[in-house]
A and B are shown apart, each in its own frame.
Chain A
Amino acid sequence: MTDKKMVEALIFSKPESLTDVPTHYCPGCTHGVAHRLIAETIDEMGMRENTVGVAPVGCSVFAYNYFNMDFAEAAHGRAPAMATGFKRVNPDMNVFTYQGDGDLASIGAAEILHAAGRGEMITVIFINNAIYGMTGGQMAPTTLPGQKTTSSPLGRDIESHGFPLKMCEILSQLDGSAYIVRRSLHDPANIRKAKKAIRQAFEVQRQGLGFSMVELLSNCPTNWKMTAEDSLEWIEENMIPYFPLGDFKVHPAIAKSKKG
């Protein structure tokens, strides 16, 4: 050992932007990881007093209990519409929505499409776990071909149920969008990349460049009927090949500053 004086440093603790309330999420659900990444980013940017979030309908319907900041609850799928209102009335505020795939890609498909098309200066955190979690594991617009759910017990049949929606690819085609990326939460390295992407999305909003969305591939151990560890492997083996990770649209002003 060296003679240098050593002290015990605090390396990680729960971010201030999260409350001490235990979440209702199932053990191993990456909703908690996504919540923590958003909270850490807001803490680092010092924007907690200046942020308002919009919670969706779905498993994360109680997100307003877990974030230690202003929060509102929107009708099912209507979070981008509500966020549009907040942002237009308070252009200096940091406004984000937190939506699952049933909320954003199914009932809220019109709202998200037009919010992106109008180039609203909001940030959307899109949790894609390929299933409806809260209602009991039914088929979602993002359910993979062949994936078994409670409403497609023989597996999703593309002949009768069609193909999954790839929201990043769709929204990146619109002129109003400025930052559209897909990340995954299946291992620590990808979680770190996801946090950088969330930071970039908030930067895009702060600079008023346009609509920003970060899609996070997530798990649902309960409705996929596997352990938490297996569900993370399932993301890597099945979801990432269909929903490739990457940057689909990055505004040149942000691309220049640093890589996300």
Chain B
Amino acid sequence: MAKGRIVVNEDLCKGCELCISVCPPGVIKMAADRFTPQGYHPAELVDPDEECTGCAICSIICPDAAITVFRWVPADKIKSTAP
């Protein structure tokens, strides 16, 4: 299965939890230990078993475009690489 990861931009995340509600493997959690500059608990990837597939459903529902999604793909099918 494909592997992926997400990066949450904590300047933009408002902790609405919509990404958590749609994540198929359920690997997004709220970070209860810190606040964003706007004063919300941000979402973060908690994925010890590497279950994230990079499906990007969280980024589709995120109202603040705060989630960047990466996925491991075969080198010959690449469109744009991670910076």
Contacts and interface: CB of A to CB of B under 8 A. Distances in A.
Interface of A: 2, 4-15, 18, 20, 22-23, 25-33, 36, 187-188, 191-192, 221, 227-229, 232
A4 B75 contact: yes
A32 B64 CA distance: 5
B22 A187 contact: yes
Given A9-B80, A10-B81, A11-B70, A28 B22 contact: no
Nearest to B70: A8
Contact of A228 (B18, B54, B82): B18
Contact of A28 (B56, B63, B68, B73): B63
The 8 closest A-B pairs by CB, nearest first: A32-B63, A28-B16, A27-B16, A27-B14, A11-B69, A12-B69, A14-B65, A5-B75
A229 B65 contact: no
A193 to B, nearest CB: 11
Contacts of B51: none
14 contacts: A6-B75, A7-B72, A8-B81, A9-B80, A11-B4, A12-B59, A14-B9, A22-B12, A27-B14, A31-B63, A32-B62, A32-B64, A187-B22, A188-B60
B67 interface: yes
Contact of B71 (A8, A27, A187, A232): A8
A27 B17 CA distance: 9
B74 A5 contact: yes
